Structure 1
Amino acid sequence: MNVVLWIIAGLLAAAFLAAGAMKVLQPREKLIASGMGWAADFGDGQVKLIGVLEILGAIGLILPAALDIAPVLVPLAALGLVIIMIGAIVVHARRKETQALLPSAVLLVLAAVVAWGRFGPWSF
C-alpha cells in the first residue's frame, strides 16, 4: 500500500502543480475565456492565491517525504488539498457546472486517501 500511496501522491502532485501554475501564470480573463467560468466570481488575487495553495500542496505531497524532512507535512498537505477540493465542488455546484464536478470529486477522493493513509497505517 505504501507504493500505491506514493503513486497517488505523485499523480496528485502533477495535477495540482499544473493546475496551480496555470492559475498563477495566466491572467484571470484568459482563464475565464478558456472555460474556467468560476474565475469570474473571484478577484485576480483570489485566483492567484488558489493557484499558489495548489502548488504548495503539490510540493507538500512529495518533498517532505522524499527528503525525509518533516514527513508529517505530507498528510497535512493532502488534507489541505481536500479542503481546496471541497471548496471547488461547492463553487461548481452553485454555478451548476456539472462537467467540473467529477474531476473535482476524483481529486478530492484521491487526496483523502493519501491523507488517511499517511496519517494512519502507512505513516512515515
Structure 2
Amino acid sequence: MTADQKAMIHSHFEKVGTECMKDNMISTDDISSLRAKKLPSGENVPCFLACVLKKTGTMDDKGMLQKETALELAKKVFNDDEELQLIADYLHSCSHINSEAVSDGEKGCERAMLSYKCMTENASKFGLEL
C-alpha cells in the first residue's frame, strides 16, 4: 500500500467519522485509540463504528458486513490484481462476524465492534497497514 493510497483511505474515514460524531459522540481518547488501531472502550464507540461502516457501505442497513461492497470500494483505490486479492482474502477473514450472535440486531453496533476487532487483529496477517 502506497503512502498516497493510505492517505486517501484515512482521509475518507476521517470525513465519515466526523459525520458519525454528530449522533455518536466519542471521546478524544477513543479517537486516539481508533487511530492507533486499538480497541476503544467508550460507551458510544460501537454505534459510532456501525455508523462509519454503514456510511462506507461496508455494513448494510440490517447490520451485516458487506465484503463485496468493501471490495468494490477497494477497487477505486487499488488497481493491482495481487493487492485486490490480498484485500479480498483479508475481508473474507472477518466474514464469520455475520454469523455471530448479537443482541442489537439491525442496529449493528455490536457487530461493528466485532468487525473492528477482527479487522485490526487480522490486518498484519495480510501485510496490511491501515
TM-score by length of 1: 0.36
TM-score, normalization by structure 2: 0.34
Larger Rg: 1
Greater helix fraction, Structure 1 or Structure 2: 1
